[in-house]
Amino acid sequence: MTASPPSWSSAGAAAPRTVTEHAAAVASLVAATASERVPLSEASGRVLAQDLASVVALPPFDNSAMDGYAVRAAEVAGASEAAPVRLPVGADIPAGRTDVPPLGPGTAHRIMTGAPVPEGADAIVPVERTDAGTETVAIGAPAAVGAHVRLAGEDAAAGQVLLRAGTVLAAPQIGLAAACGSATLAVRRRPHVLVLSTGSELVAPGRPLEPGQIYESNGTMLAVAVREAGATAEQLSFVPDDVETFRAVLAEKAVAGVDLVLTSGGVSAGAYEVVKDALTGNGVEFGKVAMQPGGPQGAGRLRLGGAGVEGGGVEAADVETSGVAVVTLPGNPVSSLVSFEVFVRPALRAAMGHPNPGRPVVTARLDGSLGSPTGRRQFRRGILDARAGTVAEIGTPASHLIGALARADCLIDLPAEVERVGDGDPVDVWLLEG
Ligand code: AMP
Ligand code: MG
């Protein structure tokens, strides 16, 4: 764990944190989750909590790689199409047969793919090289010792560790776990996140709008983003810019079992900054991060028994003594989601043990040129042309343009010190998809 970032209060209100400092502050709030057992069908996207060792060898027994005939290689060495070797068929061995008789000298067993190779046989002749007989079979080609025999343990030995703790589970890994005989896997628990939007101008989608009102979008967007990050989300009903209402919701909902409370809106420098007003002095710090969009931020542990929150009804017994982690995102939708991408998503994924908590970053050549404010790291919305290796901005830097955000597939990461990027210059690009 890195050293604690400077606190805004100690650094002075005017000194912004860097993106890296605030990311570390947020990451330090979300505790690493414990492990839980889940059925394989629920393991996709999860991080393995314990090494997985196979209880069986893979394959568990020598078996046929082809539909054909199990033979002794030496007995068919002289076979050819012109002069086939004829052998009586001793037994039929479909896949799944458990009482396989040994192969007697001078005979063949008919065998299917995946069926156990009988004792005494050392090669399989594919059915295509025979007349497919069931009483006797004419074998029209020789077979080398071991031909088309899949050997027990050639993929893995019994007891061998096949997946290490920390592996992200997808279809191939879950398939392997099933092949090893595991019905469940130990994975890292998903953090649980409460999402709470604020704003007296907000109206739920589907209802009529009065002049001056807008539809609430951050709550739904952030709850989806939390789930896409692999955590669980409860989207609370948004609240107006009223400190008592906001505190009352937290008092009821920010209880043990919640790993993070994520708010949006009410953290900037104006009046009616409900989140800031309600949480300042209660363990949550507010200040500026040197980034754009998403300058105003807040984070901390909601302290119990703080005067303000006590007034709102939070009871000490309701939450762990260390307090519930809170991250307060700005309200503009682009600021909200970009802040989520930069600070919250990596923190949630790190808490779940993801080896790569951040988005994949690639370098692309900028299509066009961009100016950027010096001293602030900027995340512009972009569209990547992966084949051409180029990226172009979509929309403008304005943080209310959710339309452009929705059409973007990447963020163009312009370092704080950069003032201008020229056409064709290399830039870092955060891939938002996949
Ligand atoms: P705030 O951070 O509360 O000052 O809000 C900044 C801007 O974002 C204002 O234009 C708000 O109307 C808008 N906004 C805040 N919260 C939301 C939300 N949940 N959904 C959509 N827009 C919002
Ligand atoms: Mg607001």
Domain ranges of the chain: 8-33+190-351, 38-58+155-188, 63-150, 361-431
* Burial class of residue 127 in the structure, from the number of CB atoms within 10 Å of its CB (0-12 exposed, 13-18 middle, 19+ buried): middle
DSSP secondary structure string, 329-380? E-SSHHHHHHHIIIIIHHHHHHHTT-S--SPPEEEEEESS-EE--TTSEEEE
Across the range 5-20, mean pLDDT stands at 75
> ∠ CA 33-37-42 to the nearest 5 degrees?
95
Mean pLDDT of 42-60: 97
Confidence of residue 434 (pLDDT cuts 50, 70, 90): low
Contact (Cβ atoms closer than 8 angstroms) between residue 297 and residue 289: yes
Q: Which ligand is nearest to the CA of 202?
A: 1
Rounded distance from Cα 44 to ligand 1 centre (Å): 34
- Chain centroid to CA 50: how far? 17
Distance separating alpha carbons of residues 407 and 230, to the nearest angstrom: 23
**What is the token pair recorded at 267?**
């953290």
Closest C-alpha residue for ligand 1 atom 14: 331
Average of per-residue pLDDT across 137-163? 97
Q: Would the CB of 294 count as within 6 Å of ligand 1?
A: no
pLDDT of residue 6: 66
Q: Looking at the predicted structure, is the pLDDT value of residue 319 above 90?
A: no
Q: Which of 195, 210, 218, 279 to probe ligand 1 with, by most ligand atoms within 8 A of CB?
A: 218
For residue 395, is it left (φ>0), alpha (ψ between -120 and 50) or beta? left
C-alpha distances out from residue 81 to 130, 158, 238, 317, 372, Å: 9, 41, 80, 85, 77
Which tens digits make up the pLDDT trace of 199-237? 999 999 999 999 999 999 999 999 999 999 999 999 999
CA angle 409, 399, 230 (to 5 degrees): 50
Q: Which atom of ligand 1 is nearest to the CA of 266?
A: 3
Q: What's the fold here for domain 38-58+155-188?
A: Molybdopterin biosynthesis moea protein, domain 2 (3.90.105)
**Is the backbone of residue 206 left (phi > 0), alpha (psi -120 to 50) or beta?**
left
- pLDDT at residue 249 is higher than 80: yes
Cα of 103 to ligand 2 centre, how many Å? 81
Q: Which atom of ligand 1 is nearest to the CA of 201?
A: 12
User: Domain 63-150 maps to which CATH number in 3.40.50.2000, 1.10.10.10, 2.170.190.11, 2.60.40.1250?
Assistant: 2.170.190.11
Separation CA 141–CA 76 (nearest Å):
7
* pLDDT mean over 398-427: 96
Sign of CA dihedral 110, 112, 118, 123: positive
Give the model confidence (pLDDT) of 369-412 as tens digits.
999 999 999 999 999 999 999 999 999 999 999 999 999 999 99
**Ligand 1 binding pocket includes 295 (Cβ within 6 Å):** no
- Strand 68-71 relative to strand 123-126, pairing: antiparallel
pLDDT level of residue 342 (50, 70, 90 thresholds)? very high
Q: Is 297 in the pocket of ligand 1 (CB under 6 A)?
A: no
Q: What is the pLDDT of residue 433?
A: 85
Enter the tokens of residue 254.
């920010």
What is the model's pTM?
0.91
59 cis-preceded (ω within 30 degrees of 0): yes
> Do 38-58+155-188 and 8-33+190-351 fall under one CATH topology?
no
pLDDT in tens, 271-305: 899 999 999 999 999 999 999 999 999 999 997 45
For residue 365, the one-letter residue type is: R
Name the nearest CA neighbour of 115 among 157, 155, 62, 71.
62
Would you say the CB of residue 200 lies under 6 angstroms from ligand 1?
Answer: no
Place of tokens 């944190």: 17
Rounded distance from Cα 210 to ligand 1 centre (Å):
16
pLDDT at 322: 75
User: Which DSSP category does 293 fall into?
Assistant: S
Q: Which of 171, 237, 250, 187 is nearest to 36 (CA)?
A: 187
> Is the C-beta atom of 293 inside 6 A of ligand 1?
no
- Among protein residues, the one whose CA lies closest to atom 9 of ligand 1: 332
**75-94 residue pLDDT tens:** 999 999 999 999 999 999 99
Whole-number Å distance, alpha carbon 205 to ligand 2 midpoint, is 17
CATH of domain 8-33+190-351: 3.40.980.10
Identify the band that residue 309 occupies on the pLDDT scale cut at 50, 70 and 90.
very low
With bands split at pLDDT 50, 70 and 90, how would you rate the model's confidence at 321? very low
Considering every ligand atom, which ligand is closest to the CA of 201?
1
Task: Give the Å distance between the CA of 204 and the centre of ligand 2.
Answer: 15
Which two structure tokens, joined as six digits, stand for 56?
A: 């069986």
Average of per-residue pLDDT values in the chain:
93
**266 C-beta closer than 6 A to ligand 1:** yes
Mutation pick for ligand 1 pocket among 264, 272, 400, 402 (CB with most ligand atoms within 8 Å)? 264
CATH homologous superfamily of 361-431 equals MoeA, C-terminal, domain IV (2.40.340.10)
Give dist(CA 409, CA 407) in Å, integer. Answer: 7
Which class for 363: exposed (0-12), middle (13-18), buried (19 or more C-beta within 10 A)? exposed
* pLDDT given for residue 3 in this prediction: 52
Q: What is the pLDDT of residue 223?
A: 98
Answer yes or no: is the C-beta of 213 below 6 A from any ligand 1 atom: no
Cα of 345 to ligand 2 centre, how many Å? 22
- 41 φ, ψ (degrees, to nearest 5): -65, -15
Cβ neighbors of 267 (< 8 A, separation 6 or more) are 273, 275, 276, 286, 296, 297, 298, 328, 329, 330, 331
What is the reported pLDDT for 8?
78
